Amino acid sequence: MTEFIFKLKTDALKLQHCLTKYEMPSWFHETLFQHKTHYNLIIDHSSSQSGKERLLQGTTEFILNEKCMDWAEEILKEHYYYEDEHEIEHILEIVSDMKMGDRPELEELMEQWDAPSFVKESLDLLLDGNSPISFDSFSTFRLKRLRLRIGKMVGLAIDEYKMEQEYQMFVHMLREYLAAREKKLETIHLYSTGFEFRFFDENMREVSRSELTQYIDKRLLTNHPLYVDSYTIAPLLSLAPEKIFVYGNGDHNLVRTLQNIFEERIDLLPRDYFPETLLYPSRDIANE
């Protein structure tokens, strides 16, 4: 038998729920200690040789899937003083994505670490004893390293959230600029070389770099030098074409930004849809 004592009723019930899929018998009851209500969960893991392992697995999942997110929310509210529920929800989604491995660019900023093994080993040291386990004390002291890691993840998630908000404001601003801009060309064809884009007009004549520079509205670069790409975004915004055909490299970050700005004006096409005969004679012009 193992007995956990919780300060929060929800924690006891969530652990009990996690253990049901491992077919772990458990009994929940309330106790009064020093005029405060505590919540006890007694788990029977002696029915089979795998009982202890199943208890370790279920409790580890509870900690990593439930408590880590509770701690993340607590850190947001108590350490970073977030109050807006929408902002909290968005940041917690980023933390959850990191935990699931869906934000590799953020995970690279953290040291590699086997969190499940750490939790299991920490629990294993306690389950052999006969005394009730205060879950809150256990998580505060034994799981301190995990909680510090969650704190770092929250910090990275906040930075990412702020960057995403800035990006959305940037896209919105450029959409408004585009809507007010008079078109200079009807159609633009963008051919991806893998490193940059070559511009062709509606007649499939390549537009040289010097021509593009002349078209650029200098206010874009003066007012937003950190955000507006002078090689692709600024020329396209300045030309304000009705239609943009992009050939190849559709998963590139810049292409996704162009899609967000120009929306229905953009069509993505395979690279081999572009007439190959137009590429080689124009190579020198493209590098002017």
Kindly give the confidence (pLDDT) of every residue in the chain, 288 residues in length, as a single tens digit, with 9 standing for 90 and above.
899 999 999 999 999 999 998 888 899 999 887 788 999 999 988 766 688 899 999 999 999 999 999 999 999 999 999 999 999 999 999 999 999 999 999 999 999 999 999 999 999 888 876 789 999 999 999 999 999 999 999 999 999 999 999 989 989 999 999 999 999 999 999 998 888 899 999 999 999 999 999 999 888 877 765 567 788 999 999 999 999 999 987 667 889 999 999 999 999 999 999 998 888 764 444 444
pLDDT of residue 175: 93
Q: Which two three-digit tokens encode residue 188?
A: 């633009």
Which run of H or E residues covers position 91? helix 85-100
Q: Which two three-digit tokens encode residue 265?
A: 């004006």
Q: What CATH number matches the domain at 181-286, 3.40.1800, 1.10.3470, 1.10.287, 3.30.420?
A: 3.30.420
Q: Which two three-digit tokens encode residue 23?
A: 């077919």
Contact, 66 vs 8, CB < 8 A?
A: no
Q: Which two three-digit tokens encode residue 132?
A: 């009730």
Contact, 38 vs 7, CB < 8 A?
A: yes
Task: For residue 239, give every residue at least 6 positions away whose Cβ sits within 8 Å of its Cβ, in sequence order, or none.
Answer: 183, 184, 185, 188, 215
Measured in Å, how far apart are the chain's first and last C-alpha atoms?
79
Which whole-number Å values give the CA distances from 58 to 30, 36, 47, 62, 119, in the listed order?
Answer: 22, 28, 16, 6, 11
The rounded distance, in Å, linking the Cα atoms of 68 and 151 is 10
AA letter at 60? T
Q: Is 260 exposed, middle or buried (0-12, 13-18, 19+ CB in 10 A)?
A: middle
HSE toward the beta carbon, residue 111, CA cutoff 13 A: 7
Q: Which two three-digit tokens encode residue 237?
A: 């915004």
Q: What are the sequence ranges of the domains in the chain?
A: 2-175, 181-286
Which whole-number Å values give the CA distances from 15 to 26, 114, 229, in the listed order?
Answer: 10, 21, 51
3-state secondary structure of 89: helix
